[in-house]
Amino acid sequence: MMSHYCSQLFFILLLSIFVGLCLASPIGDQRRDRITELPGQPKNVGFAQYSGYVTVNKESGRALFYWLTEAPASRAPRLRPLVLWLNGGPGCSSIGYGASEEIGPFRIRSDGKSLFMNPYAWNKLANVLFIDSPAGVGFSYTNKSSDLYTMGDQRTAEDAYTFLVNWFERFPQYKHREFYIAGESYAGHYVPQLAQLVYQRNKGIKNPVINFKGFMVGNAVTDDYHDYVGTFEYWWTHGLISDSTYRMLRIACKSGSSQHPTVQCMEALRVAVVEQGNIDPYSIYTQPCNNTASLRRSLRGHYPWMSRAYDPCTERYADLYFNRPEVQKALHANVTGIPYSWKSCSDIVGSYWTDSPLSMLPIYQELINAGLKIWVYSGDTDAVVPVTATRYSIDSLKLPTIINWYPWNDNGKVGGWSQVYKGLTLVTITGAGHEVPLHKPRQAFILFRSFLENKNMPN
């Protein structure tokens, strides 16, 4: 009898050790992060979702929040690449923008409680990973309050790289998988900076864990000089400012940082804003959500209330949805009880941004020389980081042209234009504003598919 009892105890002990090891393993971490179902989510979505936190700095208690939407089971997710998506600001949430109103599988209804499917979700083609970056943005947090006032490009890139290293340990099935980085706006800094870190730290490694293949950016902050010149030219040629203000801007803002403009430049920009009136500069031909005059954010790159082709108030729905306790619980978010409401953009992080290099072009040159795949796209109704700014930046690289400027087509209609350079592909999307996948989801889907397949835009 005693022998049987001891055998039972031994079995229970072995089982508890096994369960403990499983829970402390990557598989255990994945199980904890698996999303069962989001509140208001459509039934039978057919793909797996995971979300949670990855610590990037133990000393400061910095942790980044992620949301992984795998490709549907019917589309063989284990055979598809992994794509990291980043939104910019600086200080804006990839969960609130990229995942919820651009490329994610769900869109939020106006009640702020229910979701509906995005027919052009990018996870139909790849496994898509969204992170709120840097700490202090969205659900990402830091236990050191001074971090919020000292965030900048370098720390953001380092934390994002640390996140990736730790995340791949949690999800070993993605090790050595084809990996790409994509993003928009001020992620025009985040994406190439992170790409450079991954590339440099992969050097000399025969079969790197992070099998980095390239990046894609849209309406991207790239080079302060060319961004300024191209933006002012866009405003003037589209009738948004006067001749005299155009000349004043060209003089007052001809040097210095767009993230930290001079007093003279700020004064000229204020005049331009008054002349532009109550429009949405992120999409100059669409109506604002009610009266946006009092809601416009600073000139340093923050998103205003969204004014878009489908629903100009979509950002407000995200604020409602992600502040619901049951949503946060389902996402394994806000586990530390952050003492403030979830917001699409952090005013503190954006307003106190520190280091911001004047140009990403040297990184472009380095990664082009390395043979990485680089695509740059631009919605042509964006007046914040317009197509003219992007074209001036690319032109300054002086890359040989492989395929000259041509219209690409979608069902027999012009979807935009493209030019293929040696080492870089430029694509414009006609009628799209700052957030191309929100304004033109079908065309953005075609763009993403062409990028992944390394095929020129269809003509």
| pLDDT tens by residue, 179-193 | 999 999 999 999 999
Residue 313 has pLDDT above 80, yes or no: no
- pLDDT above 50 for 178: yes
- Which pLDDT score is estimated for 11? 53
3-state secondary structure of 287: coil
Q: What is the mean pLDDT of residues 438-458?
A: 97
302 catalytic, yes or no? no
Q: How far is CA 408 from the centre of its chain?
A: 25
Query: Rg (Cα) of the chain, in Å, rounded?
Result: 23
Q: CA neighbours within 13 Å on the CB side: how many for 399?
A: 25
pTM, to two decimals: 0.90
pLDDT over threshold 90, residue 9: no
Q: Tell me, what amino acid is at 439?
A: H
Measured at the CA of 55, the angle between CA 51 and CA 57, to 5 degrees, comes to 155
What proportion of the chain, given as a percentage, has pLDDT over 90? 82
Q: How far apart are CA 342 and CA 320, in angstroms?
A: 9
Name the nearest CA neighbour of 133 among 54, 197, 199. 54
Sheet of strand 62-69, all strands in order from the earlier edge strand to the far edge: 49-57, 62-69, 127-131, 82-86, 178-184, 211-218, 373-379, 424-429, 413-421, 401-410
Q: Could you give the dihedral angle defined by the CA atoms of residues 389, 391, 396 and 400, in that order, rounded to the nearest 10 degrees?
A: 170
Active site residue 4: no
Contact residues for 317 (Cβ-Cβ < 8 A; gap 6+):
108, 109, 110, 111, 112, 311
Q: What is the mean pLDDT of residues 202-226?
A: 96
Residue 24 has pLDDT above 80, yes or no: no
Catalytic residue from among 189, 226, 434, 439: 434
Q: Is pLDDT at 7 greater than 60 in this prediction?
A: no
Question: pLDDT: is 6 or 257 the higher one?
Answer: 257
* 382 among known catalytic residues: yes
Range 327-333 average pLDDT: 97
- Sorted by where each starts, the structural domains of the chain and their CATH numbers stand as 32-224+356-453 (3.40.50.1820)
Q: Mean pLDDT across the stretch 299-304?
A: 33
Closest CA to 108 of 333, 346, 306, 336: 306
Tokens, residue 94: 């990839």
- The active-site residue, picked from 382, 393, 410, 418, is 382
Q: Does 3 have pLDDT greater than 80? A: no
pLDDT of residue 254: 80
Region 425-432 average pLDDT: 97
State how far the alpha carbon of 164 is from the alpha carbons of 84, 158, 188, 340, 452, in Å: 10, 10, 19, 27, 20
In this model, does residue 85 exceed pLDDT 50?
A: yes
Q: What is the mean pLDDT of residues 132-159?
A: 96
Comparison of pLDDT for 232 and 300, the residue scoring more? 232
Residue 303 pLDDT level (bands cut at 50, 70, 90): very low
| pLDDT tier at 302, thresholds 50, 70, 90 | very low
**Residue 21 pLDDT > 50:** no
**pLDDT tier for residue 339 given thresholds of 50, 70 and 90:** confident
Looking at residue 25, its pLDDT comes to 72
pLDDT given for residue 214 in this prediction: 98
Q: CA-CA distance, 375 to 29, in Å (whole number)? A: 34
3-state secondary structure of 113: coil
Helix or strand holding residue 253 (H, E): none
pLDDT band at 69 (very low <50, low <70, confident <90, very high): very high
Residue 332 has pLDDT above 80, yes or no: yes
In 3D, which of 140, 84, 199 has the Cα closest to residue 342? Answer: 140
**pLDDT grade for 360, boundaries at 50, 70 and 90:** very high
Q: What are the tens digits of pLDDT across the range 107-123?
A: 999 999 999 999 999 99
Catalytic position from the list 140, 185, 283, 346:
185
The whole-chain average pLDDT of the chain stands at 90
Give residue 2's pLDDT band: very low, low, confident or very high (50, 70, 90): very low
Question: What does residue 375 show for φ and ψ, rounded to 5 degrees?
Answer: -120, 140
User: In this structure, what token pair is assigned to residue 365?
Assistant: 């040159």
Q: Distance (Å, rounded) from C-alpha 251 to C-alpha 245?
A: 10
